[in-house]
Structure 1
Amino acid sequence: MEASSGYKDYVAGLMAGVATVITGHPFDTVKVKLQKYNTEAGAVKYKNGLHCATRILQTEGVKGLYRGATSSFIGMAFESSLSFGIYSQTKRFLQGEIDGGKPQPHAIVPSAAFGGSIISFILCPSELVKCRMQVQGTDFMVPKSTRFSGPLECALKTVQEEGLTGMFRGGLATLLRESVGNAVFFSTYEYTRYFMHLQLKGASSESSQLIDVGVGIMSGGLGGIAFWSAVLPLDVAKTIIQTTPEKNHSRNPFSVLNLEIWT
């Protein structure tokens, strides 16, 4: 029973990761381009996300919005699977088999942070490749410093030029983003789900499955909003660190953010 439940946690996380890439990667591409080119001194300034997305569609078509999706599929599938699996297993270990009870912060926060810190080591290399692919493009507004034909070439050139440690550039920012972000996400998710179920406690059994789906969507959506509200600055720093061509560029996310504020 316990093993079966753990298996389902990992499979559910895997499916969630795949669905996230399919629906969210175009938005992520726009986000990364804005983080890269709207923070550099003298760089092109996209007016907003719509302007950036329009430029991509005009010069590269829909496939431009999915640039870097291969590495994102690999990273997000494993990341989401391990995140949900490790979190669920660790939470059970800390609080026991309590089902439907009031959320316990002493179990949720460390479980989520632990899961986030573990997956950051897997996520960092895949996100580095993803981001470096995403900042490319055929748009004349984008600098033509380096072009990669695919994620494999990007990874190989990174290792050749920067060594194996180059694949973990931005590791500290990724670790902080995932550990803090997951703690915020799962705390919001658990409390939202708990209080929504309390309000809908008297619902008929026929509609219980539909209610569970709705509660899951609302809880996950609010958790995602809370996640990015808490860690977006760290994500901006991570993108800058991972995509800069300068080998001696600071890898301290707080130094990078401080520099961006004062320049």
Structure 2
Amino acid sequence: MGESSGYKDYIAGVLAGVATVVVGHPFDTVKVKLQKHNTEASGLKYKNGLHCAARVLKTEGVQGLYRGATSSFLGMAFESSLVFGIYSQTKQFLQGGEQSGKPQPYAIIPSAAFGGAVISFILCPTELVKCRMQVQGTDSLVACPSRYSGPLDCALKTVKAEGLTGIFRGGSATLMRESLGNATFFLVYEHVRHHMHLRLKDASISRTHLTDVGIGILSGGLGGIACWCVVLPLDVAKTIIQTTQDRNSTRNPFQILTSIYRSSGLRGCYAGLGPTVIRAFPANAAAIVSWEFAVKMLGIRRD
């Protein structure tokens, strides 16, 4: 990263967040449903992500795949703005103005983890609302005592029934997921981007807008896949903690994962892996391409 441009880093992040939701939310809905229902001892079971998506489309149409997207748009725009802005500026500070061009893990990892930790406090309530909206779809065979007419209704009913702390259910799982996940994502993204630019330079291929987009797609997509392969079990635990109807159930993600492992094995801990990995590439590629485009348009210097 070259010179940071203050607020511009945060503006660029907003565009990345919007692109992520547009491309990735339908996959996320399928992932959440698989995590909720395929880890339960009884009730609705989906054969795979395709079966889940087909059932949602049959019972609710395309809008069913975008259920809970309103809170996602708001949450992701704000979250992405913060994570990209904090990452950019913290990384520049830790590097002390050094612009060697080579990725520096000592700056990338803490910068990304710090950004992830900060946004987890915003993500937790918005994802709780999103997940509860997603699992109440008409394809659910599990009785739902509270039907939510919209994100605000869901948030208000949650606070009324569980208190203010209820809206932050799954906070510790979200914090760990975001810190570890963002560190993994940016580390892979920066290294893939750097080495691809070196290959182009060695091959004497001139940089064009098209090659930059291609590098953004590959580096962002691979970063997203690496991130979710590392943190998906924490995400499974978070989904269960946030969507359970039992208010007295544990909020410890490791206890949840231990229970899942005993009943469903490693496969249960990675419930939703298919749609998550399929989503991770295009959603994160779209985020990086949008971010890099905004960075260029806003005149932010990069190495």
**TM-score, L = length of structure 2:** 0.83
- State the partner residue of 2:189: 189
**3-state SS, counterpart of residue 28 of structure 1:** helix
Identity across aligned pairs (percent)?
72
- State the partner residue of 2:116: 116
Are the equivalent residues in 2 in contact too, given 1:36–1:135 (CA < 8 A)?
A: yes
- State the partner residue of 2:271: none
- Offset, 1:142: 4.2
Where does 1:2-151 land on structure 2 (aligned, <5 Å)? Answer: 2=3, 5-99=5-99, 101-139=101-139, 141-151=141-151
- State the partner residue of 2:268: none
Q: Which one is further off, 92-101 or 237-246?
A: 92-101
Alpha-carbon separation, structure 1, partners of 2:140 and 2:182: 38
- Offset, 1:11: 1.7
- Mind listing any 5+ residue stretches in structure 2 that lack a counterpart? 264-303
Alpha-carbon separation, structure 2, partners of 1:258 and 1:184: 24
Alpha-carbon separation, structure 1, partners of 2:113 and 2:129: 24
Q: Which has the higher contact order (CA 8 A, sep 6+)?
A: 2
Closer, same or farther in 2 for the Cα pair 1:96/1:210, shift >3 Å? farther
- Mind listing any 5+ residue stretches in structure 1 that lack a counterpart? none
Q: In the alignment, is residue 240 of structure 1 matched against residue 228 of structure 2? A: no
Closer, same or farther in 2 for the Cα pair 1:140/1:195, shift >3 Å? closer
**3-state SS, counterpart of residue 201 of structure 1:** helix
Q: Which one is further off, 176-185 or 93-102?
A: 93-102
Are the equivalent residues in 1 in contact too, given 2:192–2:219 (CA < 8 A)?
A: yes
- State the partner residue of 2:159: 159
- State the partner residue of 2:258: 258
- State the partner residue of 2:285: none
Are the equivalent residues in 1 in contact too, given 2:44–2:140 (CA < 8 A)?
A: no
Alpha-carbon separation, structure 1, partners of 2:49 and 2:100: 40
Q: Which one is further off, 132-141 or 148-157?
A: 132-141
Q: Deviations over 1:97-140 (max 9, x none)?
A: 33461111111111110000000001100000000000011226
Are the equivalent residues in 2 in contact too, given 1:6–1:88 (CA < 8 A)?
A: no
Alpha-carbon separation, structure 2, partners of 1:57 and 1:142: 18
Closer, same or farther in 2 for the Cα pair 1:18/1:192, shift >3 Å? same
Q: Kindly report the root-mean-square deviation, in angstroms, between the aligned alpha carbons of the 2 structures.
A: 1.5
Q: Which one is further off, 52-61 or 175-184?
A: 52-61
**TM-score, L = length of structure 1:** 0.95
Work out the number of aligned pairs and report it: 261
- State the partner residue of 2:177: 177
- State the partner residue of 1:201: 201
- State the partner residue of 1:212: 212
Q: Deviations over 1:179-213 (max 9, x none)?
A: 000000000011111111111115454x4332222
Are the equivalent residues in 2 in contact too, given 1:185–1:226 (CA < 8 A)?
A: yes
Are the equivalent residues in 1 in contact too, given 2:3–2:92 (CA < 8 A)?
A: no
Alpha-carbon separation, structure 2, partners of 1:80 and 1:213: 19
Closer, same or farther in 2 for the Cα pair 1:102/1:261, shift >3 Å? same
Closer, same or farther in 2 for the Cα pair 1:78/1:56, shift >3 Å? same
Are the equivalent residues in 2 in contact too, given 1:100–1:194 (CA < 8 A)?
A: no
Q: What is the identity, as a one-letter code, of the residue corresponding to 2:136? A: Q
